[in-house]
Amino acid sequence: MVTNEDTEARGKVPEYGRDGNRSDLYRKTADLSAESFSIYAEKIDAVHHYSKKQVYTADKSGNSVLLFECLRVIYDPLYDNFDQVLFVDADIICNTEENIFDLAGDYDVCGVYESDIRTDQSGGYNTWDYDDKQRILIEEKYARNNIPVVPTSPPQRPSCIATLNTGVLIWSREARHKAREVFDPWYDYVQDGIEHNTPYWLNNDQPWISGQLVKHGFSVLGLDQTWNDTPTHYRDWHGDYGDGAMSAYDKWRDQNFLHYTGGGNKVEMLKHHKMDLFKYI
């Protein structure tokens, strides 16, 4: 979790009190997330590292640059001695004792595809399959950056553009070393977005990493939604803490990794923690 002037430039979070300070909210939720994964790491006999420093992207600027700090797990020799590294966004609560590394097998990378994350409210996260304007924006940006457009394959749900949610990714050692050799320069992708004024969601790490994995032939295991699920997307829950609210809670209470993506959802994470809805914190 890294915050700086670029974080505040994204604006206030209106759900977060009078001042809506984004950096303060992000740090509080990140500390909760880190606490949950520290407990998890001890349970599964793993090493836990909570990073608050901008290391890999320190010399770059741009409103989406901080998101590419996740590439540190690839390029920083600090992680070279580990067979597998799990990167997790700092707005996720670990809600399980099941060892995610047991699922990885011999795959290069493991994660949950956007099209496999289903919600009660709006289908999947793969909005480009329902919105031609979004799909065209992705296709045009990929074409400018020499990234192929490839659909998902079974057993994943159909999507015209295979895209992982990069908030939860397992990287094998071999995959990290290969990525160092073959991945395109990520900052070129960011600068292209600045030049062409592409939306923030398209100029971040997620479409870039997904495109690189496809372009360079990495083997990818699609994990079940339980490893990257968003509690607030279940019906009858968001903003409703009266009778019937627990019907939605019952849907996510046993999900493994709870991802509170977006500013407003991070406020919900603090509320859910105060209500003692998480299993281990």
| Share above pLDDT 90 across residues of the chain, in percent, rounded to a whole number | 81
For residue 115, what pLDDT band results from cuts at 50, 70 and 90? very high
**pLDDT, mean of residues 259-265:** 93
pLDDT at 242: 55
pLDDT given at position 51: 92
pLDDT, position 241 = 54
pLDDT at residue 237, rounded to an integer: 46
Check residue 95 and give left, alpha or beta (phi > 0: left; psi -120 to 50: alpha).
alpha
Beta-bridge mates of residue 93: 258
pLDDT for 236 beyond 90: no
Closest by alpha carbon to 85, among 98, 96, 71? 71
Per-residue confidence band for 4, with pLDDT thresholds at 50, 70 and 90: confident
**Alpha-carbon distance values, 110 to 45, 87, 126 (Å):** 20, 10, 18
Number of alpha carbons in the 13 Å side-chain half-sphere of residue 168: 30
Nearest-5° Cα angle at 263, 223 to 275:
80
Name the pTM for this structure.
0.93
Share of the chain above pLDDT 70, in %: 95
Buried b (16+ CB within 10 A) or exposed e, 219-256: ebebbebbbbbbbbbbeebeeeeeeeeeebeebbeebb
Each residue's pLDDT tens digit, 12-21: 999 998 788 9
Give the burial class of 11: count Cβ atoms within 10 A of its Cβ; 0-12 exposed, 13-18 middle, 19 or more buried: exposed
Cβ proximity of 183 and 216 under 8 Å: yes
Size (the chain), residues:
281
Nearest to 260 by CA among 250, 251, 270: 270
For residue 254, is pLDDT > 60?
yes
Mean pLDDT of the chain: 93
pLDDT at 201 over 70: yes
Per-residue confidence at 89, pLDDT binned at 50, 70, 90? Answer: very high
SS (H, E, C) the chain: CCCCHHHHHCCCCCCCCCCCCHHHHHHHHHHHHHHHHHHHHHHHCCCCCCCCCCCCCCCCCCCCHHHHHHHHHHHCHHHCCCCEEEEECCCEEECCCCCHHHHCCCCCEEEEEHHHCEECCCEECCHHHCCHHHHHHHHHHHHHCCCCCCCCCCCCCCCCCCCEEEEEEEEEHHHHHHHHHHCCCHHHHHHHHHHHCCCHHHCCHHHHHHHHHHHCCCCEEECCHHHCECHHHCCCCCCCCCCCHHHHHHHHCCCCEEECCCHHHHHHHHHHHHCCCCCCC
pLDDT of 165-182, one tens digit each? 999 999 999 999 999 999
Q: Any bridge partners for residue 168, and if so which?
A: 88
Per the DSSP assignment, residues forming a β-bridge with 260 are none
Question: Does residue 249 surpass a pLDDT of 80?
Answer: yes
What is the pLDDT, as a whole number, of residue 18? 75
